[in-house]
Amino acid sequence: ERHFTCLIGGNGGGYVWADKDYYNLANQMLMLSKKHGIKWLITSSRRTAPSAYQIFDKILPRNVIQDDCWVHKNDRRPVMNAYLGGGEVIYVTEDSCSMLHESIACNKAVVSVRPKKGSIDATLLTFLQSAEAKGWIMRCPADNMISEVKDISLHEENIFNSTGELIMKKIDHNMGIQTESKRSQSFQESNPVSNSWSGFASR
């Protein structure tokens, strides 16, 4: 069974997420699920509007969601590492540098998603443009998410995330191809939940 991951933020970095943006995001995720036959791993942040859950619950049927974790519903499970490890492709909203860094550090295809409105912070924009130019991410609006993700190269440069410095190794990652690296093996050994969803609470 194949999975994509979606990390959902909210207002921040100059971006403003309206209900319409969450609606567009959920609809695009449903399209991707149907096109690629995948299930979603979804988690929110403290900045995610409470209305986002109602929108996703209305649009996305449960049979296309492998697991989800919504902060405003007091779900405090530490799912981030498992979700990042379990998704072939990681979709992450552009409003959070920390979520972007953690996603990039996984050596996987990363697609950053933005809402329609907002005046993006200059520092964040510089980072996003640099990451896109280096092939670390693809960028797209929430109402037109990229459905074909392939040939994303991660270059041999240093990137910082919440756990410290990680030296990125250059790879050619085609969607559906799992990279068998020492890092991924180490992740699986130390995070068995990434290979078995039985540990998650029933929805």
Q: What is the pLDDT along the chain (203 residues), one digit of tens a residue?
A: 899 999 999 999 999 999 999 999 999 999 999 999 999 999 999 999 999 999 999 999 999 999 999 988 888 898 999 999 999 999 999 998 899 999 999 989 999 999 998 889 999 999 999 999 999 999 999 999 876 665 554 443 433 333 223 323 332 333 333 333 333 343 344 443 333 333 333 23
Q: What is the CATH number of the domain that holds 140?
A: 3.40.50.2000
Produce one character per residue of 134-157: b if its CB has 16 or more CB atoms within 10 Å, e if not: eebbbebbbeebbeebeebebeee
**Residue 199: what pLDDT?**
33
Residue 182: what pLDDT?
A: 38
pTM of this prediction? 0.75
Q: Where in the sequence is the domain holding 97, given as residue range(s)? A: 3-199
Give yes or no for a contact between 47 and 157, defined as CB atoms under 8 angstroms apart: no
- Cβ atoms 110, 137 nearer than 8 A: yes
Distance (Å) of CA 135 to CA 94, 149, 150, 171: 16, 12, 11, 11
- State the total domains in the chain: 1
pLDDT at 148: 65
